[in-house]
Chains A and B, each alone.
Chain A
Amino acid sequence: MAGDNGNEELRIGVYVCHCGSNIAGVIDPKVVAEYASTLPGVVHATDTLYACADSGQSLIKEDIKKYNLNRVVVAACSVKMHEPTFRAVVAEAGLNPFLMEMANIREQCTWAHGHDPEGALEKAKDLTAAAVAKASFLRPLDMIKVPITKRAMVIGGGVAGINAALDLGDQGIETILVEKQPTIGGVMAQLNKTFPTMDCSI
């Protein structure tokens, strides 16, 4: 069977992270990996202590070569944490970064269901299966490259904004500092001497 990946045979690798005890303290990642190995398209599934650590990353990279993987699923933490990490990992091994999918079995599973390890295990399996399912239909994609206007705007002319604008200016970047009041300075300009140095505020 093939997903929508042209006529290429699916060869999915699944990595189930322990995240130390963050995941493994509630469920057994090995069980999830064993289960994943039965899913259609999966040719290799294993658990790993820290998928995001150097050792985890090299494991994935080596396996991509060893098992000739064309999709990777990482069952670990939130995409907000490590999607960029694992995209980079598969890219380094020569796979298109969009052929990697994550299952969030930490924030949205073990951390939220500590009271229900059995329920958490079932959920982790399903989330992993869903990621495998999506992975089966992933397509290689290219990032869209956009040009950069080398100009900055800082909104708010208090001490934070003034300092940001000066630093940007010193980097040679033309910067517009927008302040809604008739003068910049913010609250600091209103203050008497300021702690911790007790120097004048302006």
Chain B
Amino acid sequence: MVDAARHPKVDVRTYTEVERVEGFVGNFKVQLREKSRYVIADRCNGCGECAKVCPIEVPNYFDMNLAPRKAIDVPMSQSVPLVYSIDMDACIHCYKCVDACGKLEAIDFSMEDKLVWEDVGSIVVATGYSHFDPSVMPEYGYGRYPNVVTAIEMERLNNSAGPTAGNLIRPSDGANPKRLAIINCVGSRDKRFNPWCSNFCCMYAIKNAILLKQAYPDMDITVYYIDIRTPSKGYEEFYDRARKMDIHFTQGRPSLITEDPETRNLFVHSEDVALGRVTEREYDMVMLNQAAIPQPDADEMSSVLNISQSPGGWFMEYHPKLRPIDTPTDGIFLAGACQGIKDIPASVAQGSAAAARAGRVLHAKEWEIEPVVAVVWEDRCISAKGKKCGLCAKACPYGAIEYEVGKAAHVVTAKCHGCGGCVAECPHNAITQLHFTDAQILAQIHALLAEKPEEKILAFRCNWCSYPGADLAGTSHFEYSANERGLRVMCAARMDADFIYEAFRLGAGAVLYSGCHPQDCHYITGQRVGARRAERLLKAFEKMGMTPGRFRVEWISAAEGDKYARVINEMQATLDSIPKEKLLEEIERLRPQMEKRARRMRETPQVEKALEYSRELETAMTGKEV
């Protein structure tokens, strides 16, 4: 910790939060909120005279609220930096601290939060994890029985730097406990709360049992477990050591804890697998090894940073095996438990790995990004002809389009992230997206629907969520109908209404329109641009009398392989439920309307060529001239 504060290249900003992140690899702009401490860091020398005179006590988060701190204080004596701060919600403005601080004049009641922008080339996200609150499990009585504590509370109670200076006492009466039960998997591996294994609790159960046994050799300690998981180097040996120390390990998940209201002793009711029966044993104290869970603000952080989350809320890596440190956003890397629960050795290793990955970017002279940007055909833009429009600029999440009546809209390439929203929104087809041109996408649609289109489910997927979601369905071998025909664009924003009309004009049985959930959108608001369009399409098709379900809109994340498979299977079921003649009749009936709506697209440069090509393709495939 102090190494970081001392390092000449590391600038530690505590009590600071990330408000906004803009830009892209090599060129991020981050807005930080430096929260007001009401103590001037440069002047505070950490003497603590202020805290001595402060009359107000507040619970200290650092001690899991087991002990108080003063309204002006540090969370712990080894805080880095050793700068005091005032909890303004508790402060009564007696100003005793100001006097105590005296000539140093470090206390400033007029201080305000400061918003600052920082330019950085790369970001490492290491926001860690949080603790499950076992009070939602009434069977264990946490919160009702004072002598039932969580593991993290135990870490403070049995800590020489903690509130009791390491003397382990029962909260109810201050006595040293003689009999302790440690319960594993509290809120972990429990479908009601968190399905996952919290990775390190078996090990810290053993650790705490060993430490307590060393400190209090007479203490009777029992660890209740489902399985003991010790897969890393030296961990099984560590477990062996505990078993040789007369620490009891009982296989069984306790179902209930009751309390004797007089003695406040606890009775743990549990199956004992070795004995093959249910037991009820009395303890002075119980420690609950609460599950590790994502930070409460993980959702918010993921949208600020534009990164995705795995099931459960952990930040998602680019690839679980091959790129476990990278996120799908170039230049942003993950380290530690925020990516998935891991212990200290693994967190440290991942921290170094993230530094190495970030270094790869930061030591480069320049970085290459894909040229999938938007380009305006100036002669088609009606703004150039003096008409009011600007729909493209309105769609752009990055303000990358300069629009002024009388001039053709202009895309600032360096700001364009390539969502394709403007391309699909332009009513005059005056914009294209490189590598995802109308002609390219149209050619794909035609190829995918060349034969028996009425049997096909054409699926538009975005590059960041639903395409990898479909990949995950495959990787997990979730089977779905082979009538699905997928194609990929960068964002739901690019899914032009014309593409959907054209697909139905060609006679597609069903069309899926799928992208990220709004909060996961890789292009800030690109998904919303796509979603609004999809809503309009849904309404239009309903009005036309299309069978519901033939056009479907679903937001599917990269982690939702099961959902992708389910949605496709449901769409197949919809198709199966429509009698073939009725489906063909409906397709014919709607064709003129689709034709009319899709016609505009035909004016787009290269599209005629694409259509000509697809006729050739059809001839090649079916052997007959079309």
List chain A positions with a Cβ less than 8 A from chain B. Answer: 1, 3-4, 38-40, 78-80, 98, 104, 106-109, 111-116, 119-120, 122-123, 126-127, 129-134, 136-139, 141-196, 198, 202
Q: Is B626's CB within 8 Å of the partner chain A?
A: no
Contacts of B484 in A (CB 8 A): 123
Q: Is B609's CB within 8 Å of the partner chain A?
A: yes
Q: Are B368 and A39 in contact (CB under 8 A)?
A: no
Q: Are A168 and B355 in contact (CB under 8 A)?
A: yes
Q: Is B1's CB within 8 Å of the partner chain A?
A: yes
Q: Are B13 and A176 in contact (CB under 8 A)?
A: yes
Query: Could you say which of B79, B337, B614 contacts A160, with CB atoms under 8 Å apart?
Result: B337
Contacts of B439 in A (CB 8 A): 4, 137
Q: Are A150 and B345 in contact (CB under 8 A)?
A: no
Assembly CA distance A175 to B122 (angstroms): 10
A/B interface sample: 22 pairs, CB < 8 A: A40-B620, A79-B467, A104-B471, A107-B474, A113-B480, A130-B447, A130-B448, A131-B444, A137-B440, A145-B367, A148-B361, A148-B365, A149-B120, A154-B335, A155-B301, A161-B336, A162-B3, A175-B9, A190-B156, A193-B211, A196-B233, A198-B207
Q: Are A174 and B361 in contact (CB under 8 A)?
A: no
Q: Is B94's CB within 8 Å of the partner chain A?
A: no
Q: Are A192 and B159 in contact (CB under 8 A)?
A: yes
Contacts of A136 in B (CB 8 A): 443, 613
Min distance, Cβ A157 to any Cβ of chain B, angstroms: 7
Q: Is B238's CB within 8 Å of the partner chain A?
A: yes
Q: Are A192 and B155 in contact (CB under 8 A)?
A: yes
Q: Are B486 and A188 in contact (CB under 8 A)?
A: no
Contacts of A181 in B (CB 8 A): 14-15, 61-62, 75
Contacts of A160 in B (CB 8 A): 126, 128, 335-338, 347-348, 350-351, 354
A contacts with B: majority SS: mixed
Q: Are B348 and A159 in contact (CB under 8 A)?
A: yes
Query: Could you say which of A38, A156, A195 contacts B128, with CB atoms under 8 Å apart?
Result: A156
Q: Are A39 and B488 in contact (CB under 8 A)?
A: no
Contacts of B444 in A (CB 8 A): 130-131, 133-134
Q: Are A161 and B351 in contact (CB under 8 A)?
A: yes
Q: Are A146 and B367 in contact (CB under 8 A)?
A: yes
Contacts of B291 in A (CB 8 A): none
Q: Is B312's CB within 8 Å of the partner chain A?
A: no
Assembly CA distance A98 to B368 (angstroms): 14
Highest count of chain B CB atoms <10 Å: which of A39, A108, A146, A178: A178
Contacts of B137 in A (CB 8 A): none
Q: Are B25 and A146 in contact (CB under 8 A)?
A: yes
Contacts of B368 in A (CB 8 A): 143-146
Q: Are B362 and A152 in contact (CB under 8 A)?
A: yes
Q: Are A112 and B565 in contact (CB under 8 A)?
A: yes
Q: B475 — nearest CB in chain A belongs to which residue?
A: A107
Given A133-B443, A164-B124: A146 touches B27 (CB 8 Å cut-off): yes
Given A129-B621, A141-B434: A147 touches B366 (CB 8 Å cut-off): yes
Q: Is B10's CB within 8 Å of the partner chain A?
A: yes
Given A178-B16, A193-B207, A195-B207: A185 touches B80 (CB 8 Å cut-off): yes
